[in-house]
A = this chain, B = another copy of it.
Amino acid sequence: MLKKERPLILVTNDDGIHAPGIGFLISVASEFGDVVVIAPEQGMSGMSHAITIKTPLRYKLLASNGVLMMASVNGTPVDCVKVALRRLLQKKPDLLLSGVNHGSNASVNTIYSGTMAAAFEGAMAGIPSVGFSLVDYDHQAPLEHLRPFLNQIVEETISKGLPKNVCLNVNIPISKNADEIKGIKLCRQALGYWQEAFEERLDPHKQPYFWMSGEFVCLDQGEDTDLQALENHYISLVPMHFDFTAHQQFNHFTNWNTIENQSETTNQHEILQKK
């Protein structure tokens, strides 16, 4: 009888390779497969889907401590995925796990998130990909009690797969023990935005500089959103795709004189199903 090969799991993040969150995610991943860790040398929060094209990239192979390979990259989370897939790995991973991010990536945070950008990049390469984020910016926040929930999500992702071109955005409410978490809920991304403030200071040369900070404004009272699930002590799970076309809004443009409307449009999922 052939022994079934263990899946190859790529782990990355955006808080940097030394963050507690990725350490925990590596230990979760190790229960399910052979693990390769390729993550940013430094914290890369807010880097979104940025890539490094104007400066050279370097990577360092680090002591692998029980995983197949561990390397840091002087770039963004998306750079890490690209370096992993196109340079360091001999075969395509069976799964990509990103995180656990120290801070929320629910609602519109997704668009600024390096954690989720890595998951999108994995999905673009045809790898089932999951981004995990804890709604707590404290790097010392307890994580161990989250293990059963992460195990469930990883196990179902491996056994049931994900739709093509879809990745998962998983956000976890602040909690101290497993009893405080009611379960896992399938959600949509809540509508909201950040209202930034710029704090002005003077440098020693009396020149002004600004720190950007902000407050999140929720515009969405829906019961089916990630924010609502988190508020009710559920883990939110949002399937996400990278077709940004606003398909449902095409009819707005039928009265534009200057454009030719397509007779009909399809979406990427239909295209894939036809293949």
Give A residues with C-beta under 8 Å from B: 43, 45-54, 56-59, 76, 78-79, 82-83, 85-87, 108, 110-112, 117, 120, 124-125, 152-153, 156, 160, 162-163, 165-166, 169, 183-189, 191, 193, 195-198, 201, 207-213, 220, 222-224, 234, 237-250, 252-253, 255-262, 264-269, 271-272
Contact = CB atoms under 8 A, between A and B. Distances in A.
A195 to B, nearest CB: 7
Number of copies: 2
B188 A259 contact: no
A185 B262 contact: yes
Given A50-B48, A198-B87, A209 B58 contact: yes
A46 B51 contact: yes
27 contacts: A46-B54, A48-B51, A48-B78, A52-B212, A56-B211, A78-B112, A86-B197, A87-B210, A108-B242, A153-B258, A156-B258, A163-B252, A166-B246, A183-B260, A184-B258, A184-B260, A185-B259, A185-B260, A186-B256, A188-B243, A188-B265, A222-B266, A224-B262, A224-B265, A238-B245, A239-B245, A239-B249
Contacts of A117: 48
Contact of A269 (B51, B86, B249): B249
A249 B163 CA distance: 7
A239 to B, nearest CB: 4
A271 B224 CA distance: 11
Contacts of A196: 82, 85-86
Nearest to A73: B210
A162 B198 contact: no
Q: Which 10 A-B pairs have the closest CB atoms?
A: A48-B49, A56-B209, A241-B246, A152-B258, A188-B245, A239-B246, A240-B244, A50-B50, A48-B48, A224-B262
B57 A212 contact: yes
B268 A253 contact: no
A218 to B, nearest CB: 11
Contacts of A256: 156, 160, 186
A223 B271 CA distance: 11
A252 B57 contact: no
Contacts of A76: 50
A265 to B, nearest CB: 5
B54 A162 contact: no
Nearest to A88: B198
A50 B47 contact: yes
